């Protein structure tokens, strides 16, 4: 066998199915990023970073949090995040992917059940590969399906605690989880509710706290707030009862055996929380842009509005999705095609992301271009 044969054959197979991925430079109007509030390039956040550098905050942490890596900036961010989200405690990790997979791998105990939404993010699936609990999917956004899965497990003799894992706002569909119904089910079944707020943090809820704001602080609720999307920087904050964050500090392998994230970025993330809390204007401007886009997508393209800043245009076929995305990119719009396995088979799509990096005029031009490309 020639060197790398299995890898080459795999890539060729992906190409045959229009699934080959490749890195592309960023170009064109931003309809692809998750920098919803345009904080990543904002003068305000840049000033936070400059002030932190000026007062000597280090770039690197130098080690794991449990060794030399713990820095007052990490603890300041976590204290402020807990207060901001309304949780007893918060813990900051380098990425949402790592945080989610570690949460699911660490918190559920042997004998527990994890019922997850069928469309849950890959990072949760990663944790499910490692979990000691039993995992079952539930139909997307169908609260009854979650309750039924728990009831069926109890009927089979399930003795542990159930965990309900959802995203508050789905990353590829832009629709919302029925959080109030799921919280009621969690209470009824003595279940935990694990809510990934990745795409809602900073964008929705009072002060930009996300869609689960009303549930934060409950003894059975754990939320994940990524910092690389609406907050414009990177990392992820777990908000939870203190006993659970203490448990992660002791048992979360992704927390223990990894270099602590940059103290400078902790200062920036803390600045981003303050910005979304104190400056609602960006959130209001995004809401206006989303409303204008919804009307255009519905009237001009006949595409049902998602009700959020994530607007899918489902095309079905992988090749078609990539061709239409390519035509839009040629016309100066950075829109990406999303294919299986990121989305279910037969639902390849354009994922249009609305951010303050574009204007209403840009959105109107994009909608016209999509109409022409289709
Ligand atoms: C729903 C959801 N959860 C978690 C993540 C991972 O977060 P991060 O990008 O910080 O690793 C993403 C990112 O794509 C996401 O969409």
- Proportion of the chain above pLDDT 70, given as a percent: 100
What CATH number is associated with residue 122? 3.40.640.10
pLDDT band at 117 (very low <50, low <70, confident <90, very high): very high
Q: Does the residue 118 lie in any domain?
A: yes
- Reported as a pLDDT band with limits 50, 70 and 90, residue 236 is very high
Residue numbers of the domain that contains 303:
24-40+280-373
Do 33 and 115 fall within a single domain? no
Q: For residue 123, give the ligand 1 atom closest to its CA.
A: 4
Cβ(308) to ligand 1 under 6 A?
no
Q: Are residues 233 and 147 in the same domain?
A: yes
Predicted confidence (pLDDT) per residue in 98-113, tens digit: 999 999 999 999 999 9
Q: Which ligand 1 atom is at minimum distance from the Cα of 100?
A: 4
Quote the mean pLDDT of the chain: 97
pLDDT in tens, 80-89: 999 999 999 9
Instruction: Tell me whether residue 4 is in a domain.
Output: no
Q: Among the three residues 255, 277, 299, which one is the final residue of a domain in this structure? A: 277
Report residue 123's pLDDT band, with 50, 70 and 90 as the boundaries.
very high
pLDDT > 90 in the chain, percent: 98
Question: Ligand 1 centre from 198 Cα, in Å?
Answer: 6
Ligand 1 centre and the CA of 158: distance in Å? 31
Say yes or no: 298 and 151 in one domain. no
Is the pLDDT at 141 greater than 90? The verdict is yes
> Which of 277, 296, 315 is a domain's end point?
277
In a domain, 9, yes or no: no
Per-residue confidence (pLDDT) for residue 1, from 0 to 100: 80
| Residues 158 and 292 placed together within one structural domain of the fold | no
pLDDT tens for 148-179 read: 999 999 999 999 999 999 999 999 999 999 99
Residues near 327 by beta carbon (within 8 Å), at least 6 away in sequence: 369, 373
Q: What mean pLDDT comes out for the span 344-366? A: 97
Q: Output the pLDDT for position 240.
A: 98
Whether residues 271 and 349 fall in one domain:
no
Which of 220, 252, 277 terminates a domain? The answer is 277
Residue 158 covered by a domain: yes
pLDDT of residue 62: 98
Number of neighbours of residue 23 by Cβ within 10 angstroms? 4
> Does ligand 1 have an atom closer than 6 angstroms to the CB of 167?
yes
Do 31 and 72 belong together in one domain?
no
Q: 258 with 339, same domain?
A: no
303-310 mean pLDDT: 98
> Do both 129 and 252 map to the same domain?
yes
Residues 266 and 298 in one domain: no
Q: Is residue 321 one of the residues assigned to a domain?
A: yes
Average pLDDT over residues 340-363: 97
The residues carrying an active-site annotation are 34, 121, 167, 171, 196, 199, 229
**CATH code for position 300:** 3.90.1150.10
Q: Is 259 part of a structural domain of the chain?
A: yes
Q: Are 171 and 121 in contact (CB under 8 A)?
A: yes
- Does residue 19 lie within any of the structural domains? no
Look at the chain and report how many structural domains it folds into: 2
Contacts of 132 (CB under 8 A, 6+ apart): 108, 109, 110, 112
Taking the centre of ligand 1 as the mean of its atom positions, its distance from the CA of residue 225, in whole angstroms, is 9
192 shares a domain with 99: yes
Protein residue with least CA distance to atom 4, ligand 1: 96
Q: Is there a single domain that holds both residue 207 and residue 286? A: no
Q: Do the domain assignments include residue 246? A: yes
Mean pLDDT to the nearest integer, 5-9:
96
253/335 same-domain check: no
């Amino acid at each position: 066998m020639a060197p790398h044969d299995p890898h080459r054959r795999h890539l060729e197979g992906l190409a045959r199915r229009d699934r080959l991925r490749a890195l592309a430079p960023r170009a064109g109007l931003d309809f692809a990023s998750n920098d919803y509030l345009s904080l990543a390039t904002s003068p305000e956040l840049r000033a936070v970073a400059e002030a932190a550098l000026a007062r000597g905050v280090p770039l690197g942490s130098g080690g794991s949090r449990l060794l030399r890596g713990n820095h007052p900036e990490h603890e300041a961010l976590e204290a402020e995040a807990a207060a901001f989200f309304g949780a007893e405690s918060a813990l900051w990790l380098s990425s949402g992917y790592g945080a989610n997979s570690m949460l699911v791998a660490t918190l559920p105990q042997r004998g527990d059940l994890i019922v997850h939404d069928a469309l849950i993010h890959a990072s949760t699936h990663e944790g499910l590969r490692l979990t000691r609990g039993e995992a079952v999917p539930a139909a997307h956004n169908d609260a009854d399906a979650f309750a039924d899965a728990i009831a069926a497990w109890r009927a089979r003799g399930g003795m542990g605690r159930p965990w309900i894992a959802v995203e508050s706002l789905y990353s590829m569909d832009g629709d919302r989880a029925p959080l109030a119904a799921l919280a009621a089910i969690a209470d009824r079944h003595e279940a935990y509710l694990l809510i990934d707020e990745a795409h809602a943090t900073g964008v929705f809820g009072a002060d930009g706290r996300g869609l689960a704001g009303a549930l934060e602080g409950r003894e059975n609720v754990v939320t994940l707030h990524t910092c690389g999307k609406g907050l414009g920087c990177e990392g992820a904050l777990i908000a939870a009862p203190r006993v659970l964050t203490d448990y992660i500090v002791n048992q979360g392998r992704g927390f223990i055996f990894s270099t602590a994230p940059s103290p400078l970025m902790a200062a920036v993330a803390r600045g981003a929380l303050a910005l979304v809390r104190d400056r609602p204007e960006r959130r209001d401007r995004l809401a206006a842009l989303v409303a204008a886009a919804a009307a255009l997508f519905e009237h001009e393209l006949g595409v049902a509005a998602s009700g959020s800043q994530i607007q899918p245009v489902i095309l079905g076929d992988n090749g078609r999705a990539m061709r239409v995305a390519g035509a839009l990119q040629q016309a100066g719009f950075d829109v990406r095609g999303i294919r299986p396995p990121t989305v279910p088979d037969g639902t390849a799509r354009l994922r249009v992301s609305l951010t303050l990096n574009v204007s209403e005029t840009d959105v109107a031009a994009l909608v016209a271009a999509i109409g022409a490309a289709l």
